[in-house]
A = this chain, B = another copy of it.
Amino acid sequence: MSFAPLQNDTFLRACRRLATPYTPTWLMRQAGRYLPEYRETRARAGSFMGLAMNKDFATEVTLQPLDRYALDAAILFSDILTVPDAMGLGLSFALGEGPRFAQPVRDEAAVRALAVPDMEKLRYVFDAVTSIRNALNGRVPLIGFSGSPWTLACYMVEGAGSDDYRLVKTMLYSRPDLMHRVLEINADAVSAYLNAQIEAGAQAVMIFDSWGGVLADGAFQQFSLAYTERVLRQLKREHEGVTIPRIVFTKGGGPWLEEMGALDCDVLGLDWTTNLARARALVGGSKALQGNLDPNVLFAPPASIAAETIKVLESFGAPHSGAGTGPSHIFNLGHGISQHTPPEHVQALVDTVRSHSRRMRGQPSA
C-alpha cells in the first residue's frame, strides 16, 4: 500500500529516542465520549460496535480530536475486546454497562475450544486502519493497538469487568495449566492481529496491559509479562522498510518497571503513580517513556491543568536533544481520558506541553 508522506514525525522520533523540538503528545482514548462530535457520530452509528465495526465511522471519530488539538499521533478507534469476540465469545455492550461476553471461558472444555481466530473475522479492523491512514493523509502517524494476552484473559474468564478478578485468579491459582493455555492462544492471536494492523497501515503498535497491575508479584511476571514478551517476539519489526515502534503500557505496572525495562519494545507507558524521574533513571537508558498525567487533573481549571502538566514535564526533565539516541518523553495521560472531561480543558494541556517543552529545550515557546 502507498500512503502520503508523513508531515509530523515527532512522535515516531520520540519512540526511537531521537531528539524532537518539543515533547510529542497524544491522549489515551482521545477519540471518545467527552467530545460532542464523537457523541453525534455515535448516535448516527446506533451503537458502540456499530461505530467500531464501520470503517467510515471509525475513521471519522479517529480524526475528530486532531481537528481540535495539536496532537502528534492518532490511535485507531476500536475496542480492546475485538480479538476474543472474533474467537466466538459473543461480545455485547448493554446500555449503561460495560462489555459482556455471552460465552465466558471458565472451564476446561471452554479452554480446549479456544483457538487463534481467523484474521478475516477482524478484517473490519484492518479496513479501518487503512481508511484512517488514508484520511490522515500524512498529518500524524497512526498507532494500532491490542489488549495484552492477560488483559484479554481477564475479560474472557470474568465475562465482563470485575472489581476483584476472582474468577480469573481462581483459574490462575487452581488450574495454571488452563490459564497458560488461554494466554498462549491470546498471545498468538494478538501477534497476528497487530501484524495485520501493521500491514494495513499502523505506524506504531501499543499493547494495553490494563489489568496487569492487579496481579501479585511473581504472578505478574509469569502470567502477564511472559505473554507480552511472546507477543513482542512475533511482531514484525518493520514494514516496507520502515521501523514500527512498539509501546507497552501496564496500568499499575510501577512495581515491575525494572523487569519491563528488559522487554523488547521501544516505549513504556506509565500511569500517574510512577515518578518519571525514577523511571527515567531505571529504564530511560533503553526505553522512551510515555505518560503520565492523572486524567482527573482535567477537571480542574486551566491554570491548575497547566501547572500539573508542567510538573509532569519537569519530573521527566529535559529530554536528550543532541544527535543519536537518549532519554525521550512522550506526553500522555496515565489512563484513558474521562467521558466527563470538558473539551476546552484538553486545550490547556496540549498548549502547555507544546510551549513548556519547547522552553525546556531552550527554544522559543511558540
Residues of A with Cβ closer than 8 Å to B?
Answer: 163-166, 169-170, 173-174, 213, 215-220, 252, 254-255, 272-276, 292-294, 296-297, 299-301, 304, 308, 311, 315, 334, 338, 340
From B174, B276, B292, B296, contact of A173 by CB (8 A): B296
In the complex, chain B residues whose CB is within 8 Å of the CB of A300 = 170, 173-174
What are 28 inter-chain pairs, A to B, with CB distance below 8 A? A163-B163, A164-B296, A164-B338, A166-B296, A166-B299, A166-B338, A169-B296, A170-B300, A173-B296, A173-B297, A173-B299, A173-B300, A173-B304, A174-B301, A213-B273, A216-B272, A216-B297, A216-B334, A217-B276, A217-B315, A218-B275, A218-B311, A218-B315, A219-B294, A220-B273, A254-B254, A255-B255, A255-B273
Chain copies in complex: 2
In the complex, chain B residues whose CB is within 8 Å of the CB of A276 = 217
In the complex, chain B residues whose CB is within 8 Å of the CB of A304 = 173-174
From B165, B216, B274, contact of A255 by CB (8 A): B274
In the complex, chain B residues whose CB is within 8 Å of the CB of A254 = 254-255
A169 touches B294 (CB 8 A): yes
In the A-B complex, list the 7 residue pairs whose CB atoms are closest, starting with the nearest.
A173-B300, A169-B296, A216-B272, A170-B299, A216-B294, A174-B300, A217-B275
A280 and B279 alpha carbons, distance in the complex (Å): 21
A341 — nearest CB in chain B belongs to which residue? B166
A218 and B301 alpha carbons, distance in the complex (Å): 19
Q: In the complex, how many angstroms separate the beta carbon of A324 from the nearest chain B beta carbon?
A: 29
A348 and B252 alpha carbons, distance in the complex (Å): 30
